[in-house]
Amino acid sequence: MALQIGDKVPDFEADTSEGHIRFYDYIDGKWAILFSHPKNFTPVCTTELGYTAKLKDEFAKRGVVVMGLSVDQLTDHETWAKDIEETQGTALNFPLIADHDRKVATLYGMIHPNASDTMTVRSVFVIGPDKTLKMSLNYPASTGRNFDEILRVIDSLQLTAAHKVATPVNWKHGEDVIIVPAVSDEEAKTKFPGGWKALKPYLRIVPQPK
Ligand code: BEZ
């Protein structure tokens, strides 16, 4: 069965563009993103990897570590990395798994056989410091993902973890948030001493905590 939100994500060891890595060691106690893309030397993937590398400071600000996966050999990664730097203006700065035997892709359900037997779909797994899955998504090969949206999800997840607030439709960083239903009005009084706006007893709005 596919990994579900709340599940502990599986550990693995793999050869990557930054050496042999045990996944649990790499993500230990941190927020993490593991993402796949269909294949090396493909156009959409080239843009995605370049853009993800450009977000290095944004990930660092949030304490997030990133790892990519491609079902290709390490030597291909080295050659393709040069193309990414040349065409996207940024060099790879996170490990890219050389999953030529599809071991990790299979473990994480990144191969959807009715789409392709050999290539992965565009999967993203956002993992919490407790090593449980917080969010996942799958896009088809032909649609590049929006990595700014993934940052937005991480902001939301981190606000929930730190302040017990949820984020409403189309929320953007800095906008008002919602006190989660599990927080009673009693608890909310101590957590949000500035008060809140209750549109309904279950819809309590507060400014985004810092
Ligand atoms: C791409 O990255 O451009 C791509 C990869 C596989 C199928 C279609 C597009």
68 phi and psi angles, rounded to 5 deg: -105, 165
**Among 42, 72, 138, which is best to mutate for testing ligand 1, by the most ligand atoms less than 8 A from CB?**
42
Token readout for 152 is: 């937005």
Angle between helices 43-54 and 147-163 (to 10 degrees): 40
Would you kindly state where each structural domain of the chain is located, as residue ranges?
A: 13-145, 163-206
Residues in CB range of 101: below 8 A, 6 or more apart = none
Residue 42 CA to ligand 1 center (angstroms) comes to 5
By annotation, the residues acting in catalysis are 45
Fold of 13-145: Glutaredoxin (3.40.30)
77-92 pLDDT, tens per residue? 999 999 999 999 999 9
Residues in CB range of 70: below 8 A, 6 or more apart = 36, 37, 39, 40, 45, 76, 77, 96, 97, 98, 99, 120
What's the CATH number for 163-206? 3.30.1020.10
Token readout for 112 is: 């959807």
Tell me, yes or no, if the pTM score tops 0.95. Answer: yes
Nearest-CA residue for ligand 1 atom 6 is 141
d(CA 178, CA 172): 13
Q: What is the mean pLDDT of residues 20-47?
A: 98
For residue 144 and ligand 1, the question of a CB distance below 6 A is answered with no
For residue 210, pLDDT beyond 90: no
User: Using 50, 70 and 90 to split pLDDT, how confident is the model at 149?
Assistant: very high
Q: What is the mean pLDDT of residues 112-136?
A: 97
**Among 35, 36, 39, which is best to mutate for testing ligand 1, by the most ligand atoms less than 8 A from CB?**
39
d(CA 197, CA 132): 33
